[in-house]
Amino acid sequence: MAVTDKMPELIGKSPLRVDVHGKVTGAAIYTDDIQFGKNLLYARVKRSPHPHALIKKIDTSKAEALPGVKVIVTGKDYPQRIGLYLKDKNIFATDRVRFVGEAVAGVAAVNEEIAEKACELIEVEYELLEPVFDSIYGASPDAPLIHPDMGDYEVANFIFPKPGTNISNHFKARKGDVDRAWKDCAAIVEKSFHIPQVQHVPIEPHIAIAKTDDNGRVTLWASSQSPFAQRNLIAKTLGISESDMRVIAPYVGGGFGCKAGVTMEAMPVAIALKAKGHPVKMRFTREEEFYTNFVRQGLKIKLKVGCDKDGNMLAMENTMYWDGGASTEYGVNITRAGGYSSTGPFDIPNVKTDSFCVYTNHPIGGAYRGFGMSELHTGIGQVMDELAEKIGMDKVEFLKRNSIQGGDINVTGMKMHPIGLQECIDKVAKGINWGVKEKASSDNKLRGKGIAISWKAPAMPPNAGSSAFIEMNEDGTATVNVGGQEIGQGAFTVAAQIAAATIGLPMEDIRIAGPLDTQYSPYEWQTVASRLTWSMGNAVRFAAADARRQILEMVAEAWDEDVDDLDIINGIVVSYRSEKEMSLKNIAVYGIPKEDDQGWIGGPVVGQGSFMPSYVTGLDPETGQGPRAVVHYTTGAQGFDIEIDKDTGKIEILKAVTAFDVGRALNPELVKAQMEGGMMQGISSAIFEEIILEEGVMQNPSFVDYRIATTVDVPRVMETYFVEVPQDDGPFGARGIGEHPMTPTIAALGNAIYDATGIRLEGPPFLPEKVYLAMKDAGILD
């Protein structure tokens, strides 16, 4: 695929978002805004209060007797298992519960109050089992089994569960000979880190409405990043044919991964199947959003890295224990991504990686912006910082010397495509005035700087596809149909831009068909993995090229000219040869009449395009080696200049700088907006966020005690840069940028704290309390 012949004018410009008018007037429709009329039922969920227990008996009789209750379902009604990569979950717990908050029964009633009351009336008898709250312990032979039947579960062929243990995936990478390499190292650093679970916290909580028609067809309206994956997974699990299940997905009020795959959406469907004709609405309270929703998995990571006397990396040993939670249907692939990316963007000749996904009695781990990369880089970014120091090298120089470059063979044996990581490092180093020791603003403060780099590839099955079609309208505009979701990132705007640029239309002449509807929208695997601009972008580009070809062929025939002499500029077909012009109005639908009323040429123009990366290969289960583990990597760097208050331990970020190589910034303002938002989410997770679990019970399931960054927490100065080394398989050379800006944040801040205090904390959040008490214990406060 050629990157591009000639860059259309609209590429690299920043037209305004296409979805924004309704969003500022309150007219934009989100899932909970759809009106369903009087027939609507409301569903609530009975949840487990125990982290690990057998269900002995469920008595729903009292609840059933409550006036207003329509349907109650339990795990008995749906014994089927569901899951994206590993089918290890039930819609409602069947014989055992595995985390506090797990759904045990669902009730639909005429209003939420009655449904909630009915849940209280459901009596469940449990037999408590010994729980597992630690991933390393969970992986040990001593730990009680959480999924004794794991051996029977259906699993994707690139996931390797270990039946008879709590290990649901073990990814191995072996490159070179680590044991021999240690002998040649002049400096070695060994360190462990613990990254706690965090929550996604979209401002719109989960919501889904399901309805079964008389003929058994099911419609699901959901705040969803993945209407097609939901259709597929839910239909398969419940024995519905995919085409008899329809998913409608309006605007999403923030996803960040938590509305990918199937999280809660199967529950309303399961209930609606037994309440024919009634729409059944289930919406999570903020508290449920916090403690029952998929989380970013916790990680315990042990790293050993070494370099020679000149600071060249020689070896890395990386052992990761992911706290996958009660079921790891999605998390197993995060474990895999952590494995095949386990070196971070470093060129290391000898690598030994073991990445374990471990069942625990904690909330279920799922996809979260970065898909394991924030956690992984928290470890890598900080050990590299220490290794540079140990060998006595400037840290930025060390990063530049060891960072991976185009042509290098990475940890899985894949040859790296050209990347602009070096330039990103330079931009960040310059931005934070690296190398200049600056004075703190008062005696009470300690100042420090830190920098870290990261990479991330779209993590997905090898055959994740995209498709698009474009219909021309009578007025000369084009309606772009896609199956990828607008979750705030600007996907619709970029799709419009690619279509406009490719066909030759002004931006205002593009409409994006919405809301997404699996009945009308073309297939898209999922809106995840920072893959839309790239993958859906390719599909849109092909569809637009197809539409353009049809138009030009029609006009060429009408004018009796060669297609190569024609062009479409701002919605007008022009000939460079005859200098004729014709507006797209009418012709793109009705065609062009032949002279003398001798019939017509053309007809409704519909362009179609699809894209699937067909070149990703499998990896050897023992060594993790294979020609191409992933499609490509987006790389970048981030740095902070901070001050720490000696009286409280509070961190103040004076300056935050980040730079990523996005291949081509199709819409620079949207790219920057992703970098700002992502970096801020990273900062928030680094200094505030943690799901505090005590014996499986979340202690802070509300905004009162799960703090996220607010307006006053934004650094005074934030700089974002992009670098453009084009990607050969991306539209106009583009790569994804949605997730990456938060992946190096924790490490970069950890390095800045170390620079300021000499203290290396075991993990985030870098709360004032932790920083202060560590300084106190280290004797650096008087």
Partner 1 sequence: MISYHQITLKVNGETEVVNVPANMTLLVMLREEMGLTGVKNGCAAGECGACTVLMNGEPVNSCMVLAAECDGAEVITVEGLSHNGQLIKLQEMLIAKGGVQCGFCTPGMLISAFALLKRNPDPSENEIREALVGNLCRCTGYVRIIDAVKASVEK
Partner 2 sequence: MLYRRQARRYNTYKRKKTMLNPHPGLPEFTYVKLASLDEACGFLVEHAGEARLISGGTDLLVRMRDKAFKPAYVVDIKGLEGTDVLAFDPSSGLKIGAAVPMNRVVAHPDVQKHYPLLAQAAKSVASYQLRNRATIVGNICNASPAGDTLGACLLLGGRLNIYGKDGERFEDLVTFFKGPGKTSLQPGEIVTSINFPLPEKGATGTYLKLGRNKLSDLAIVGVTVYGFPDKMTESGFRIKVALASVAATPLMPPVVETVLSENEITEDTIQEAANASMDACFPIDDVRGSARYRKEMVRNLTRNAITEVWGQLQSRTENGLEANR
Query: Which residues of this protein are in contact with partner 2, per CB under 8 A?
Result: 44, 47, 49, 100-101, 112-113, 116, 130-134, 136-137, 142, 144, 194, 283, 285, 287-288, 291, 647-648, 688, 692, 694-695, 697-701, 704-705, 707, 709-710, 712-713, 767-770, 772-773, 776
Cβ distance 364 to 331 under 8 Å?
Answer: yes
Residue 16 in the binding site for partner 1 (CB under 8 A): yes
Taking each helix axis from N to C end, the angle separating 745-757 and 768-777, rounded to the nearest 10 degrees, works out to: 30
Cβ distance 434 to 451 under 8 Å?
Answer: yes
Burial of 710 from C-beta contacts in 10 A (0-12 / 13-18 / 19+): exposed
Q: Residues 6, 24, 183, 782: which binds partner 1 (CB under 8 A)?
A: 24
Residue 714 in the binding site for ligand FES (CB under 6 A): no
The nearer residue to partner 1, 16 or 773, going by C-beta atoms, is 16
The nearer residue to partner 2, 7 or 773, going by C-beta atoms, is 773
Query: Any residues with CB less than 8 A from the CB of 712 and at least 6 apart, and which?
Result: none
Task: Name the catalytic one among 397, 579, 739, 762.
Answer: 739
Stretch that binds partner 1, among 249-257, 415-423, 524-532, 628-636 (CB under 8 A): 249-257
Burial of 541 from C-beta contacts in 10 A (0-12 / 13-18 / 19+): buried
Q: Residues 255, 339, 488, 731: which binds ligand FES (CB under 6 A)?
A: 488
Closest separation in Å from C-beta 394 to partner 1 = 30
Residues 521-560 that bind ligand FES (CB under 6 A): none
Residues 486-525 that bind partner 1 (CB under 8 A): 487-490
How many angstroms separate the CA atoms of 494 and 178, rounded? 44
676 interacts with, out of ligand FES, partner 2, partner 1, none, CB within 5 to 8 A per kind? partner 1
139 interacts with, out of partner 1, ligand FES, partner 2, none, CB within 5 to 8 A per kind? none
**CA angle in degrees (0–180, nearest 5) for 113-118-122:** 150
Residues 297-316 that bind ligand FES (CB under 6 A): none
The nearer residue to partner 2, 319 or 433, going by C-beta atoms, is 319
CA 723 vs. chain centroid, Å, equals: 22
Closest CA to 316 of 369, 272, 355: 355
Q: Residues 201, 631, 637, 725: which binds partner 1 (CB under 8 A)?
A: 201
* DSSP codes of every residue in 696-749: TEES--STTTS----GGGS-SEEEEEEE----TTSGGG----SSGGGSSHHHHH
Closest CA to 171 of 409, 347, 376: 376
Closest separation in Å from C-beta 255 to ligand FES = 10
Give the HSE-up count for residue 194: Cα atoms under 13 Å, Cβ half-sphere. 7
Cβ distance 246 to 212 under 8 Å?
Answer: no
Closest CA to 82 of 153, 163, 150: 153
User: Hey, what are 182's tokens?
Assistant: 């240690």
Cβ distance 204 to 501 under 8 Å?
Answer: no
Number of residues that bind ligand FES (CB under 6 A): 3
User: Hey, what are 420's tokens?
Assistant: 């602009």
Binding mask 145-184 for partner 1 (x = CB under 8 A): ----------------------------------------
471 interacts with, out of ligand FES, partner 1, partner 2, none, CB within 5 to 8 A per kind? none
Closest CA to 69 of 136, 133, 119: 119
Closest separation in Å from C-beta 163 to ligand FES = 42
Stretch that binds partner 1, among 16-24, 94-102, 136-144, 310-318 (CB under 8 A): 16-24
Map tokens 């089927």 to a residue. 80
Binding mask 450-489 for partner 1 (x = CB under 8 A): -------------------------------------xxx
The nearer residue to partner 2, 444 or 578, going by C-beta atoms, is 444
Cβ distance 161 to 167 under 8 Å?
Answer: yes
Closest separation in Å from C-beta 476 to ligand FES = 33
701 interacts with, out of ligand FES, partner 1, partner 2, none, CB within 5 to 8 A per kind? partner 2
Q: Residues 254, 461, 593, 603: which binds ligand FES (CB under 6 A)?
A: 254
Query: Residue 495: phi, psi to the nearest 5?
Result: -60, -45
How many angstroms separate the CA atoms of 397 and 311, rounded? 9
> How many residues does this entry show for the chain?
782
717 interacts with, out of ligand FES, partner 2, partner 1, none, CB within 5 to 8 A per kind? none
The nearer residue to ligand FES, 12 or 254, going by C-beta atoms, is 254
At 170 the three-state DSSP class reads strand
Number of residues that bind partner 1 (CB under 8 A): 55
The nearer residue to partner 1, 88 or 289, going by C-beta atoms, is 289
DSSP annotation of 597: G
21 interacts with, out of ligand FES, partner 2, partner 1, none, CB within 5 to 8 A per kind? partner 1
* DSSP codes of every residue in 538-590: HHHHHHHHHHHHHHHHHHHHHHT--GGGEEEETTEEEETTT--EEESTTHHHH
The nearer residue to partner 1, 25 or 215, going by C-beta atoms, is 25
Residue 203 in the binding site for ligand FES (CB under 6 A): yes
Closest separation in Å from C-beta 171 to partner 2 = 23
Asked if 739 is an active-site residue, the reply is yes
Map tokens 């109050």 to a residue. 113
Q: Which residues pair with 611 in a beta bridge?
A: 466
CA 652 vs. chain centroid, Å, equals: 28
Residue 673 in the binding site for partner 1 (CB under 8 A): yes
DSSP annotation of 86: B
Residue 26 in the binding site for partner 1 (CB under 8 A): yes
At 675 the three-state DSSP class reads helix
Cβ distance 67 to 117 under 8 Å?
Answer: no
Binding mask 682-711 for partner 1 (x = CB under 8 A): --------------------xxx---xxxx
Residue 251 in the binding site for partner 1 (CB under 8 A): yes
User: Prior bond to 51 cis, omega within 30?
Assistant: no
Residues 271-290 that bind partner 1 (CB under 8 A): 285-286
Residue 19 in the binding site for partner 1 (CB under 8 A): yes
**CA angle in degrees (0–180, nearest 5) for 400-406-412:** 100
169 interacts with, out of partner 2, ligand FES, partner 1, none, CB within 5 to 8 A per kind? none
The nearer residue to partner 1, 349 or 677, going by C-beta atoms, is 677
Cβ distance 414 to 446 under 8 Å?
Answer: no
The nearer residue to partner 2, 80 or 140, going by C-beta atoms, is 140
Closest separation in Å from C-beta 568 to ligand FES = 35
Active site residue ranges: 739
Which parts of this chain interact with ligand FES (CB under 6 A)?
A: 203, 254, 488
Residues near partner 1 (CB under 8 A) are 16-17, 19-30, 32-33, 35, 200-205, 251-256, 285-286, 487-490, 669-670, 672-673, 676-681, 702-704, 708-712, 714, 718
